[in-house]
């Protein structure tokens, strides 16, 4: 399994319908959004689930329900769950979700899963993911995370084979504007560390589309959606997540041709 070229992240862990009425919260809403985004050009979903009160939860039962509904409604669509802690879940609780659910794909923040943890425990967890056939995408927030991942690989804690990462530009801060140029130093550190992962990018703020275009040009992949940004390139508020997919597809629709043209200029 390889990462999808365009993965939609429609919900996240923090936002509510007060932030945007089209933010999908329930499983039915997430499924409806995934289908619309697939039609718009996305080929994968980065999924969060919420409880009855709308709170982000690491709940294996809710994820099973979502995955089953998507399998029925959008067969073949790539589905990745998250172990995002949001200051609420411990590494042990994150591991328990994955070990219970054994999903096809999961995103895991490297700094969260390793925080104050015995490295042997971390090594056993990632080995269990490989044995279960779970594709892990390591979330990396800065150059230090890239270097930390390289060190874990060197010590055998994380396997080098089938490595997948997601670089993050920006944070949940008021007025955040991510800079596409900030991707280059991360890729330089990645190359210097000898890493050749299947890599993608997500970015916060109104420059999200341009940041993701920069990633595609450099041979990466894109994660886009209301989790990180709700504005189109022109500054207008997107009607829904599918509108964000269309906004991105308008500038990367050429796919490989876009990458090739960038290497010739």
Q: What angle do CA 137, 242, 182 make, to 5 degrees?
A: 50
Domains of the chain as residue ranges with CATH: 6-263 (3.20.20.70)
Whether the CB-CB separation of 56 and 50 falls below 8 Å is answered with: yes
3-state secondary structure at position 114:
coil
Q: Counting Cβ atoms within 10 Å, is residue 114 exposed (0-12), middle (13-18) or buried (19+)?
A: buried
Cα separation, 226 vs 242, whole angstroms: 10
| Residues 231-256: tens digit of each pLDDT | 999 999 999 999 999 999 999 985 54
Q: Please, how many CA atoms are within 13 Å of residue 9, restricted to the half-sphere of its CB?
A: 25
- Check whether 100 has a pLDDT greater than 50: yes
Q: Which range has the worst mean pLDDT, 70-84, 165-179, 209-223?
A: 165-179
CA gap 207, 169 in Å, rounded: 10
* Model confidence band, residue 177 (pLDDT cutoffs 50, 70, 90): confident
The per-residue pLDDT for range 159-175, each reduced to its tens digit, is 999 999 999 998 766 66
Mean pLDDT of 136-148: 97
How many whole angstroms separate alpha carbon 198 and alpha carbon 83? Answer: 20
Helix, strand or coil, per DSSP, at residue 201? strand
Looking at every residue in the chain, the average pLDDT score rounds to 93
Helix (H) or strand (E) holding 180: none
């Amino acid at each position: 399994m390889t990462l999808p070229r365009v993965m939609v992240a429609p919900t996240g862990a923090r936002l509510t319908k007060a932030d945007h009425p089209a933010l999908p919260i329930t499983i039915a809403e997430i499924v409806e959004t995934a289908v619309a985004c697939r039609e718009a050009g996305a080929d994968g979903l980065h999924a969060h689930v919420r409880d009855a009160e709308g709170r982000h939860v690491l709940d294996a039962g809710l994820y099973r329900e979502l995955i089953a509904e998507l399998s029925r409604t959008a067969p073949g669509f790539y589905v990745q769950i998250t172990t995002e802690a949001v200051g609420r879940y411990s590494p042990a609780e994150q591991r328990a979700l994955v070990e219970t659910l054994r999903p096809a794909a999961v995103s895991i923040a490297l700094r969260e899963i390793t925080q104050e943890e015995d490295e042997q425990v971390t090594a056993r967890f990632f080995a269990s993911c490989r044995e279960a056939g779970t594709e892990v995408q390591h979330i990396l927030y800065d150059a230090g995370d890239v270097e930390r991942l390289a060190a874990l690989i060197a010590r055998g804690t994380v396997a080098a084979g089938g490595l997948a990462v997601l670089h993050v530009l920006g944070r949940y801060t008021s007025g955040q504007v991510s800079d596409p140029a900030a991707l280059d130093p991360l890729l330089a550190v990645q190359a210097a560390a000898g890493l050749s992962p299947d890599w993608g990018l997500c970015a916060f703020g109104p420059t999200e589309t341009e940041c993701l275009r920069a990633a595609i040009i450099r041979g990466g992949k894109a994660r886009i959606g209301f989790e990180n940004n709700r504005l189109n390139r022109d500054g207008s508020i997107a009607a829904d997540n599918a509108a964000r997919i269309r906004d991105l597809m308008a500038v990367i629709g050429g796919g490989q041709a876009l990458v090739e043209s960038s290497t010739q200029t």
